[in-house]
């Protein structure tokens, strides 16, 4: 397909999805492609889209209760359908969006969906049957069938590959630190996502213990989805959201519950540790463990995680060691945005090539 003739609808449901597609959109637009971006207004999706000068259609916020979720499900499909009928896209793309998948069937167009979360069963149930192709990292540990296309990379390389991201050291000034001052990032999640139901991470006691102990060795900053206890609020990081990757890049340690931030930290050359009841079994974590780039512990082993973290903080060489591990990862993995561009511009022949193992990626 010629870029100057392609019309693509992309549905955004999470802040991470903005990062996944922002460079793809920029490159394809420069080649003449037209886009319609639909986006949920749940967290900071709209903030990021505006920050990156990406026009979008607001499909609403949604609700957290079961009945509200059901109502929003059909409402979002209807709203996207109306926009799609007017826009007439050639392709619809998303990261695990059931709304985009349904609309693609309603208007008779292919839905190309990305996914890297094996245990997100509800997302797969609502999305996979209605999608034309399902693109996953090669380390994804489930076989989805003939629709699946594997690529040798991680979704986070869509935006953290050095072709697109260079850490900005001015973040030290933003944080009020000297450029040689060590700092640590802790990340606490709200456990409210559909794939988080029934799962957990660090106990409150361990969160407080870690903050107290880590503060003996470095400045501690907390990034939290939910409200922090009063005694932890002084540690809450205050930065523009789009600067978080700069923060992770120069940190001496990442310690938290977010699999995405764990992966991001490893890809930026920062010692990375995750405590989660589900993340340790994910394919990308298993793959990163081959590079010794991350540590992952189940909640019942949080004390062990804490001890390993303290050891990493005390080791003044750990940052340089992780930067070398980052180079090893980048040597082996692809530029995922470049793959996305190639796949769409050469679609549908690109799918056939990938299935035969003859694609360039």
Residue whose token pair is 């069938």 = 145
322 and 342 both lie in a single domain? no
110 and 219 both lie in a single domain? no
Nearest 10 degrees: CA dihedral of 279, 285, 286, 291? Answer: -150
Instruction: State how far the Cα of 275 lies from the Cα of 16, in Å rounded to an integer.
Output: 20
Whose CA is closest to 221, among 184, 249, 260, 264? Answer: 184
Q: Is residue 79 part of a domain?
A: yes
Instruction: State how far the Cα of 305 lies from the Cα of 214, in Å rounded to an integer.
Output: 13
194 and 302 both lie in a single domain? yes
Q: Is residue 361 part of a domain?
A: no
Q: Is residue 165 part of a domain?
A: no
Cα-Cα-Cα-Cα dihedral sign, residues 337, 343, 346, 350:
positive
109 and 182 both lie in a single domain? no
Q: Is residue 360 part of a domain?
A: no
Q: Is residue 281 part of a domain?
A: yes
pLDDT at 36: 98
By residue count, the chain amounts to 361
79 and 220 both lie in a single domain? no
| Chain centre distance of CA 5 | 29
Enclosing domain of residue 134: 3-153+334-355
Instruction: State how far the Cα of 268 lies from the Cα of 248, in Å rounded to an integer.
Output: 7
| SS3 letters across 167-215 | CCCCHHHHHCCCCCCCEEEEEECCCCCHHHCCCCCCCHHHHHHHHHHHC
Phi, psi of 359 (to 5 degrees): -75, 160
128 and 197 both lie in a single domain? no
Number of domains within the chain: 2
Per-position pLDDT tens, the chain of length 361: 766 689 999 999 999 999 999 999 999 999 999 999 999 998 899 999 999 999 999 999 887 778 888 899 999 999 999 999 999 999 999 999 999 999 999 999 999 999 998 877 888 889 999 999 999 999 999 999 999 999 999 999 999 999 999 999 999 999 999 998 999 999 998 744 544 445 578 999 999 999 999 999 999 999 998 899 999 999 999 999 999 999 999 999 999 999 999 999 999 999 999 999 888 989 999 999 999 999 999 999 999 999 999 999 999 999 999 999 999 999 999 999 999 999 999 999 998 888 878 777 7
The region, left, alpha or beta by phi > 0 then psi within -120 to 50, assigned to residue 306 is: alpha
138 and 181 both lie in a single domain? no
Residues contacting 50, CB < 8 A, separation 6+:
none
181 and 319 both lie in a single domain? yes
Cis omega (within 30 of 0) for bond into 19: no
- CATH number, residue 326: 3.40.50.2000
125 and 176 both lie in a single domain? no
Q: Is residue 164 part of a domain?
A: no
Q: Is residue 160 part of a domain?
A: no
Q: Is residue 241 part of a domain?
A: yes
221 and 314 both lie in a single domain? yes
149 and 177 both lie in a single domain? no
Q: Do 136 and 149 touch, CB atoms closer than 8 A?
A: yes
341 and 213 both lie in a single domain? no
pLDDT at 193: 52
Phi, psi of 140 (to 5 degrees): -55, 125
């Amino acid at each position: 397909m010629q870029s100057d003739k392609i019309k693509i609808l992309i549905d955004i449901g999470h802040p991470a999805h903005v990062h996944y597609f922002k460079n793809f959109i920029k490159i394809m637009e420069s080649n003449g492609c037209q886009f319609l971006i639909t986006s949920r207004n749940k967290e900071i999706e709209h903030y990021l889209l505006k920050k990156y000068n990406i026009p979008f259609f607001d499909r609403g916020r949604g609700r957290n209760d079961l009945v509200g979720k059901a109502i929003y499900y059909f409402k979002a499909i209807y709203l996207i359908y109306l926009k799609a009928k007017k826009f007439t896209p050639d392709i619809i793309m998303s990261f695990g969006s059931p709304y985009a998948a349904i609309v693609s069937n309603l208007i008779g167009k292919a839905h190309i969906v990305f996914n890297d979360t094996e245990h997100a069963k509800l997302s797969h149930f609502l999305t996979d049957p209605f999608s034309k192709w399902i693109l996953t990292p090669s380390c994804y540990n489930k076989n989805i069938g003939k629709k699946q296309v594997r690529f040798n990379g991680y979704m986070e390389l869509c935006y953290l590959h050095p072709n697109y991201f260079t850490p900005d050291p001015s973040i030290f000034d933003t944080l009020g630190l000297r450029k040689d001052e060590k700092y640590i990032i802790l990340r606490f999640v709200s456990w409210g996502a559909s794939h988080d139901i029934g799962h957990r991470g660090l106990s409150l006691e361990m969160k407080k213990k870690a903050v107290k102990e880590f503060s003996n060795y470095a400045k501690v900053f907390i990034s939290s989805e939910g409200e922090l206890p009063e005694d932890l609020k002084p540690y809450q990081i205050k930065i523009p959201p789009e600067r978080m990757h700069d923060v992770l890049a120069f940190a001496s340690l990442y310690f938290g519950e977010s699999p995405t931030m764990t992966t991001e930290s490893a890809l930026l050359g920062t010692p990375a540790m995750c405590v989660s009841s589900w993340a340790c079994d994910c394919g990308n974590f298993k793959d990163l463990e081959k590079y010794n780039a991350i540590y992952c512990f189940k909640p019942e082993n949080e004390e062990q995680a804490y001890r390993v973290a303290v050891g990493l903080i005390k080791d003044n060489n750990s940052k340089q060691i992780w930067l070398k591990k980052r180079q090893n990862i980048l040597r082996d993995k692809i530029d995922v945005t470049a793959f996305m561009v190639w796949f769409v511009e050469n679609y549908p022949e690109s799918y056939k090539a990938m299935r035969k193992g003859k694609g360039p990626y």
